[in-house]
Chains A and B, each alone.
Chain A
Amino acid sequence: MKLALKGKVVILTGVTGGIGRQIALDFLLEGAIVIGLIRNENKMKQIRNWIIDQNISDGSLHSKIGDLLDYHGLQTVVREIVDEFHRVDILVNCAGFAHENPFAILDQDQIDSMIDVNFKSPLYLSHAVLRPMFRQKEGCIINISSVSAIKKGRGVAVYAAAKAAMDAFTRALSSEVGRKNIRVNCIRPGVINTTMSGPLLERAHDIVNASTALSRFGHPNEISKAVLFIASNNTASYMTGETFTIDGGMF
């Protein structure tokens, strides 16, 4: 079954991360136009090189500099994208990060930054794309949450709370905009092997092997494939308001 994503205009945050770059690559493979929202061009060059190294053209990969916490700035960036590409079909809110420390020792800045990046930024950006999506009478928002939102875990209290908020946001927003043919869904990845290596990887292996039914890490393309499936109106036109856990069967 074809996904029919050719020519679709995709805004993607977190494009420089392990999952984000794979999402970008898979959309490009399907012929979509991908616009990464980035803080600076340096890391974007690395992503372009990574994509070219895999014999994929980066001709449809674009970038816009944007502060994900600047509400008005994001409105402007989205307006620029609509001026240039004439529409916004898909938004993937993939940017996120965690300070993995016990809650008791986090400082205020760490708490605020995790709430801001993991939760407020997707709200701001979703708000900005709804205007063009309403006008198009079509659109798709996909939020990348985390299995932390529903599992117990140490060192991720704020991150988990922010991601759980994103799950709730997905449910509620989908109820508001569904009638306008805008779908909102969420993916909760489990432990995905992105940047870990060496001894850390070995230690993590033991834990992941013991705690997942599939006894292994996930690969970024096991998340990106699901993103594309949800983004496509050929495969997921009746799916909205849902959060899909992709965690290898975490116990």
Chain B
Amino acid sequence: MKELDEIFSVVAETIENSIGTPKEEIGLKQTIFDELAIDSIDMVDILFELESHYGIELKVSDIESRVREELGDTPYEVEGIITTEGLVMLRKHMTEIDQSLLTEGLTVHGLVKLFTVESLCKIVVYRLEVQ
């Protein structure tokens, strides 16, 4: 398995190429949408570049795939709101996210806003493992 540091280096360079922020100013803990101001189209661009680099297919929903797999038949979300069980799993698997924000009432859409650069690196790790 590739080291997270190695993947981070590629992800940071990809972000730099897409939005112009120097990679030296990009950190693992930064949130993608708020702190780096990456919008949905830039995100598509970044995912496509990472796909090309690693020869894999990526989806933003990959980030929750591990959580959904581990929950099995237990619902991860109901009508877009993440269940209590889903939040427990997110706290376990998404330690990079500010845990104080993983609270009852969080929506699937709202979770995306909390994604960090490390979350993006983890998507790559996940796909490299399962493909």
Show the binding face of A for B, using Cβ within 8 Å. Answer: 131, 134-135, 176-177, 179-180
Contact = CB atoms under 8 A, between A and B. Distances in A.
Contacts of B52: 135
Summarize B's interface: helix, strand, loop or mixed.
helix
A131 B41 contact: no
Contacts of A131: 48, 51
A177 B48 contact: no
A176 B49 contact: no
B41 A135 contact: no
Contacts of B49: 134-135
B44 interface: yes
Nearest to B39: A179
Interface string B29-50: 0000000000001001100110
A179 B41 contact: yes
Given A131-B48, A131-B51, A135-B49, 11 more contacts: A134-B44, A134-B45, A134-B48, A134-B49, A135-B48, A135-B52, A176-B41, A177-B41, A179-B41, A180-B41, A180-B45
Interface in B29-78: 41, 44-45, 48-49, 51-52
A180 B52 CA distance: 16
Contacts of B41: 176-177, 179-180
Nearest to A178: B41
Contacts of A180: 41, 45
Interface of B: 41, 44-45, 48-49, 51-52
Summarize A's interface: helix, strand, loop or mixed.
helix
Nearest to B53: A135
Most A Cβ at <10 Å: residue of B41, B49, B52: B41
A139 to B, nearest CB: 12
7 contacts: A134-B44, A134-B45, A135-B48, A177-B41, A179-B41, A180-B41, A180-B45
CB-based closest 10 A-B pairs: A134-B48, A134-B45, A135-B52, A131-B48, A135-B48, A176-B41, A180-B45, A179-B41, A134-B44, A135-B49
A227 B103 CA distance: 53
Contacts of B48: 131, 134-135
Nearest to B51: A131
Contacts of A134: 44-45, 48-49
Contacts of A135: 48-49, 52
Nearest to B40: A176
B56 to A, nearest CB: 13
Contacts of A176: 41
A164 B115 CA distance: 38
A81 B48 CA distance: 17
A135 B52 CA distance: 8
A12 B45 CA distance: 24
A20 B113 CA distance: 44
A180 B19 CA distance: 11
Most A Cβ at <10 Å: residue of B48, B49, B51: B48
A82 to B, nearest CB: 10
A76 B41 CA distance: 23
A141 to B, nearest CB: 15
Nearest to A131: B48
A135 B44 CA distance: 10
Nearest to A132: B48
A135 to B, nearest CB: 5
Contacts of A179: 41
B72 to A, nearest CB: 27
